[in-house]
Structure 1
Amino acid sequence: MTTSIRHIAKLAGTSVSSVSRVLNNSGYASPELRERVEAAIRTLNYTPSKGARMLRGAPSRMIGLMLPSIEVPFFGILAHAIEQELFQHGYQTLICSTAENMDHEVRYISMLLAQRVDGVIVASAFGSIEHFGVLRDAGIPIIAIDRELSGIADDAVMADHEEGGRLMARHLIDLGHRAIAIVGAPAHSQPIQLRLQGITAEMAKDGIAPATVAMAEEHSFAETYRLARELLASRPEVTAIIGTTDVSAIAAIHAIQDRGFSVPGDYSVVGFDDLPEAAYVFPRLTTVAQPIRDVGQQAARLLEALIEEHQTGDESRQGAIVKVPVTLIERDSTGPVRN
């Protein structure tokens, strides 16, 4: 197993950022802390990489892009938009697909340091983000994308997920639906939690609550299809299903049709993302469109500006959370509540 600074921090009983300060000889580290870290380094036979030792020469013109999974269509489109925008301005992109695995994130961080990247764009799959502190301590500009990274990245670019949740719920309520179920994944995702907040807040305005909320840990068609099948069998009063992503909504449509029901005749279904598949599935999916490419391009441009500020020593600009507006695209998968 490759030794990382996370292992050193655990053995030394301190934080990743504290280990970084000792390795980089940057910032204050007490003699007692330095001794503990150095002892852990000796025990684990750890050799700091050139990146971890901060041997940062001329700009590398390389950017790290860390995403939970490029198998997920949303992140594939996002990665392409970011890579193309950066390429036009002379940057190469190192794409890190972490498989929503904490150890993968930590190892990729070490790799990005060793490659002397000029900046990082990241959508972390986890609420615990201390391991990103080593990038911040190394002075590498960081942009959070699709979710916030409080305490690590002052800048973030994302769709207005909560407003999107409100739009989904309001559309179904206006069609007369009251027994509305939610199917989605991944349950731990910050954007998904924001969408759920928007959905429940909008439903509460009409004195109703979700009939059921079925969330999978893994964001896959198979898992959300299974949840939708179970929901249809156990909650006959439901007349509409909100998919927290287009993949979840399309899985729900397949589950409904496989049980011999129709969309939107028996059930209305709405999704979130407006992936290309949303316009091709039958019936065509009503969905909240988030401008994925625009989110990616804005994040890339913001990072380029941060890199320039970092290289010139300009620290006057305040961080910003950019929320990109979303819109409801009405297609064929939603209709009035059945009699």
Structure 2
Amino acid sequence: MAQKQRTSIKRPSSKDVAKLAGVSRATVSAYLNRTRYVSPELSEKIEQAIQELHYTPDPVARALKLQDTKTIGLIIPVMSNFYMPLMQVVNEVAHQNAYGLLLCSSEEDPEREREVLEIFLAKRVSGIMMAPCSEKNRKLLNDIQQKGTPIVQVNRKIDGLEADSVVSHNFKAAYTATEHLIHKGRKRIVFLGYDPDSLVNAEKKTGYDAALADYKIADNLTILVKEHQREQIRTAFRTFLETGQSFDGLICTTQGKTAIGLQLLKAYALRIPQDVAVIGFDDTPWSSLLWPPLTVISENTYTMGEEATKLLLKRIENKEKIAPQHIVLEDELIIREST
């Protein structure tokens, strides 16, 4: 019994368009990619051929030819509410400029960060935006930039990396938070928490330390934690509470730590602000709805993401080498009843 031959519909190519329009493939390419002038007469013939053949350019072939996939690679340390506004605005601005978005998280692991960077390079992304998890991949990042793929750091910055950055003034934010509690008469202020391996934590810790030193406060109550590991943060703060050490102020350096801090203060029947004045980092929709409403350092991650995306697109479109730009955004202390 004879087998029926399968019929397949061949996708029309630029060669087919050129043949029907009576022009060269180079002219079709120039028309599609706007790489040189094509007369109105030839443009009309090419467009008619495209419509008749229902031709659509192959984006993969185009990317390989032009060495540009029109794609941004974004690496964040962890999928969290803090980074949600940043992810949204990066996606919006990329879409408005006809760019796609690849999103990955490093989970605060330098080796995983390296793997993601290698995946992005294999996919020939046009540029990379990232919140670096440590300084361990500095050499790789410098190599990537030197080979032509621009990088913009966001929220965190590696010293010595010749790449643009858009960050918050973390030192000043932590200093302001600590100073505010001191002005409220608090002398034993807990800093929850500090991960020596986290770039942004180091800046905040330095700001806290500087405020204590400037106001001649000797008691440094820093709680060491592993960034973004909720159970480890909970255990570390609970262990501190169970020591019975007295304290009258608490600074929580992320949204997650703020939630854990508030939960444990309630569990140990510590009143806010009578027993402990509390400041959280980043303003959330629930910050003003708590009782008492929470004093916070507001970090505008939406603006951070918007500025970083515009900077990256500018680098992608303009191949001219200029010195790295470093944008520092001021955070805002929003005072409410928790202090």
Residue pair 1:240, 1:269 contacting (<8 A) in 2 also: yes
Q: What is the match of residue 233 of structure 2?
A: 224
CA distance in structure 2 between the partners assigned to 1:84 and 1:243 by the alignment: 30
Which residue of the partner structure matches residue 281 of structure 2? 272
The code of the aligned residue for 2:178 comes to A
Q: 2:84 aligns with which of 68, 76, 85?
A: 76
TM-score of the pair, normalised by structure 1? 0.76
| Equivalences for residues 166-205 of structure 1 within 5 A | 166-184=175-193, 186-205=195-214
Percent identical residues: 25
Correspondence for 2:101: 93
2:324 equivalent in structure 1: 319
Structure 2 residue corresponding to 1:307, chosen from 316, 319, 339: 316
The residue that corresponds to 2:135 in the other structure is: 127
Tell me, what secondary structure is at the counterpart of 1:276?
A: coil
Output the CA distance in 1 between the equivalents of 2:83 and 2:123: 23
- Quick one: distance in 2 between partners of 1:276 and 1:188? 30
Query: Which residue of structure 1 aligns with residue 58 of structure 2?
Result: none
- Structure 1 residue corresponding to 2:124, chosen from 107, 111, 116: 116
Q: Give the aligned partner of residue 163 of structure 1.
A: 172
Map of 2:256 onto structure 1 = 247
Residue identity opposite 1:231 in structure 2: F
Query: For the residues of structure 2 that align with 1:179 and 1:217, how far apart are their CA atoms?
Result: 23
Report the CA distance between 1:76 and its aligned residue: 2.7
The answer as to whether partners of 1:143 and 1:153 remain within 8 angstroms in 2 is: no
SS in 2 for 1:279: coil
Write the letter of the residue equivalent to 1:85. V
- Match status 1:289 vs 2:298: yes
User: Which runs of at least 4 in structure 1 moved beyond 6 Å after TM superposition?
Assistant: none
Distance in 1 (CA, whole Å) between partners of 2:296 and 2:187 is 19
Distance 1:179 1:81, change over 3 A: same
| Root-mean-square deviation (Å) | 2.1
Q: Please tell me whether residue 260 in structure 1 is matched to residue 237 in structure 2.
A: no
Q: Which residue of 2 aligns with 1:337?
A: none
Shift of the alpha carbon at 1:96?
A: 1.1
- Give the drift of 1:226: 2.5
Aligned equivalent of 1:17:
none
- 1:208 corresponds in structure 2 to 217
TM-fit CA distance, 1:197: 0.8
Separation in 1 of the partners of 2:96 and 2:218? 47
Name the SS of the counterpart of 2:208 in structure 1.
Answer: helix
| Alpha-carbon separation, structure 1, partners of 2:160 and 2:149 | 14
Distance 1:210 1:264 in 2: 20
Query: Residue 272 of structure 1: CA displacement?
Result: 1.4
Establish whether residue 154 from structure 1 lines up as the match of residue 163 from structure 2: yes
Cα contact 2:195–2:202 (8 A) shared by 1: no
Aligned mates of 1:308, 1:112 — CA distance in 2? 18
Structure possessing the higher radius of gyration over alpha carbons: 2
Determine helix, strand or coil for the equivalent of 1:176: coil
CA contact (8 A) 1:200 1:210 kept: no
Give the aligned residue type for 1:205. Answer: D
- 1:51 alignment counterpart: none
Deviation at 1:63, TM superposition (A): 0.4
Name the count of aligned residue pairs: 277
Q: Return the offset for 1:204.
A: 1.2
Q: Judging changes above 3 Å, is the alpha-carbon distance between structure 1 residues 247 and 185 closer, same or farther for their aligned structure 2 residues?
A: farther
Partner of 1:237: 246
Contact 2:142–2:162 (Cα < 8 Å) also in 1:
no
In structure 2, distance between residues paired with 1:157 and 1:165: 18
Distance change in 2, residues 1:308/1:277 (3 Å): same
5+ residue gaps, structure 1: 1-53, 335-339
Structure 2, unmatched stretches of 5+, are: 1-62
Alpha carbons 2:226, 2:233 under 8 Å: kept: no
3-state DSSP of counterpart to 1:158: strand
Q: 2:152 aligns with which of 133, 136, 143?
A: 143
SS in 1 for 2:66: coil
**Residue identity matched to 1:228:** F
**Which amino acid in the other structure matches residue 334 of structure 2?**
I
**Alignment deviations for residues 22-68 of structure 1 (CA, whole Å, 9 cap, x no partner):** xxxxxxxxxxxxxxxxxxxxxxxxxxxxxxxx967342110000111
Partners in 2 of 1:284 and 1:230 — Cα distance? 26
My pick for the range that moved more, 243-252 or 89-98, is 243-252
